[in-house]
Amino acid sequence: MTEDTTRRDELARERTVLANERTLLSYIRTALGLVALSVFAFKFADQESAIVIALVALLGALLVFCIGLYSFRQSSARIDGTIHEHAHSVWSTLAAFAFIKQKDTSPHHEHE
């Protein structure tokens, strides 16, 4: 009975590892789709709004890829049992960055 339980646990771990890899590939597929949108907008559009769309899509692709890679590494560490309790969440880091960036870009009103 112990041998069956061990084998079942090993197979469950392998399924979890493969699911984690599939999730990473999904993030990569989404990022590549955004890169394709960006290339299409740069190549076939001649308006300024298309350039903005292309740049936003390119930045989105980079963001999606980074989130996917971060998530993959965190999940891999959790699966292996090596995750640290003080690891930051990618969402809290991104939210803090967006808040700081928003403060930096907000217009400053000077009173005369």
Rounded Cα distance between 41 and 38, Å, is 5
Prediction pTM value: 0.68
For residue 68, pLDDT over 80 is answered with yes
For residue 53, pLDDT over 80 is answered with yes
Type of residue found at 106:
S
Closest CA to 97 of 63, 46, 65, 50: 63
Q: What are phi and psi of 110, to 5 degrees?
A: -105, 135
Domain ranges of the chain: 2-105
For residue 24, pLDDT over 70 is answered with yes
Q: What are phi and psi of 109, to 5 degrees?
A: -100, 125
